[in-house]
Structure 1
Amino acid sequence: MVDPVRSRERMVREQIEARGVSDRAVLDALRTLPRHLFVEEALAYKAYSDGPLPIGEGQTISQPFIVALMSEMLQVQPGMRVLEIGTGSGYQAAVLADMGADVYTVERIKKLFFAARKRFMDMRMFSVKLKLDDGTMGWPEEAPFDRIIVTAGGPEIPEPLIDQLADPGRLIIPVGGSKRYQELILIEKKDGEVIRTNKGDVAFVDLVGQHGW
């Protein structure tokens, strides 16, 4: 039997901290959350391994290090309103919620949406709000957001997301001209200025929608 507590501790120590992630709230969330409950039961034994895993419908749960890295880049503080595009399994949203954020997450695939909603209800994560919709349009009724995170890669940064980002605010998104290969882009909005920084190469599933593929 796999000991999830020991597996999480080893994951954080060997995969996350060893690669430079040091945000205490991020590390605590990864140590706390039962990642094995966010994957299919047959893959639970791989939940704390160093890589993404399939969750059905052609989608994946991201590698733990990438979840930690993007969460750290957001610089989330308790009480912030965070928009996530691409709910998937719900793990990234759960990490942000555990960090104290009010999370608004949008998923376009019905099966994943309903599975994630049930998971959040079972875990009594009431600070996560879900919407079934085209994520590239954001969630205009709830804007602005202090932080926005996109967990799928598209050819460009959707303009609605930049419009819905608060000032000051941070947005992190994979962007690339070819599918399944992107650059991780950090957008910082401050005093009306939008600053774009490339944070390195990544590989995400496709961002599908009006402002995606």
Structure 2
Amino acid sequence: MLLTDRQAAAFRRRLVDDLRERGIADERVLAAIGRVPRHRFMPDTGLHRQAYDDVALPIGEGQTISQPYTVARMTELLDIREGERVLEVGTGSGYQAAVLAELGARVFSIERHAALLQKTRPILKALGYDPVVRTQVGDGTYGWPGYAPFDAIIVTAGGPEVPAELRDQLRDPVDGQPDARLLIPVGPPKRQVLHRITKTGPDAFADERFDGVVFVPLVRGA
């Protein structure tokens, strides 16, 4: 069933309250979540009533839109600053990219499923996120060298290791700016851990581990 704008806004307010109660403390992230109409990123209008429940939902091509808590938590850990250049590996529905854009990021997003991106691009454009969010079909494990280096990289799929190409596309430290960081789920299927890898020098990285998560597989190659 389709939602009216008034209904969707009420559901978003409830969602933000729930996320705050669950421990999301960054009010900028909560405000961004509160502005993005998650139901608009779901091609199946029959799921619109579930859009603001804290669950992952199917979007086609064997992919899902991540649950809101996961989006909020990963966004909070990435600690985006306005004007930063962010690479997203796995555009999916476009919802995570929209949240990053609401925080003032310039988003470069790669999706391996061309059919999925064909659905997502018109949604991003209709909601005003184009050209702040730039998208491309491709293998995101190799990053996007033409627009590197990046202030931050977020990977929305889980793999057994961190692709070296992604670490290499983080910018070097700059005085007066936060260090560049990469957030990625690492581990076997159905049992991954969020790693935040911060570039502390030209060839130096710090690796922090956070929550256990479950993501669709990060696929490399054809």
TM bucket by the smaller chain?
over 0.9
RMSD value, Cα: 1.3
Q: What's the counterpart of residue 25 of structure 2?
A: 22
Q: Percent identity?
A: 47
The within-5 A match list for 1:1-213 is 3-14=7-18, 16-39=19-42, 40-125=44-129, 126-167=131-172, 168-176=179-187, 178-192=188-202, 193-210=204-221
State how far apart, in whole Å, the 1-side matches of 2:171 and 2:28 are. Answer: 22
Post-superposition offset of 1:166: 1.3
Q: Deviations over 1:189-208 (max 9, x none)?
A: 11232011110210000111
Q: Which runs of 5+ in 1 are unaligned?
A: none
Which residue type is aligned with residue 119 of structure 1? I
Q: Deviations over 1:96-127 (max 9, x none)?
A: 00110000000000111111111111112120
3-state SS in 1 of match to 2:171: strand
Per the normalisation by structure 1, the TM-score is 0.95
Question: Structure 1 segments of 4 or more deviating over 6 A?
Answer: none
- Is residue 54–residue 60 contact of structure 1 (8 Å, CA) maintained in 2? yes
3-state SS in 2 of match to 1:165: coil
State how far apart, in whole Å, the 1-side matches of 2:16 and 2:70 are. Answer: 12
Q: Which runs of 5+ in 2 are unaligned?
A: 173-178
State how far apart, in whole Å, the 2-side matches of 1:6 and 1:113 are. Answer: 29
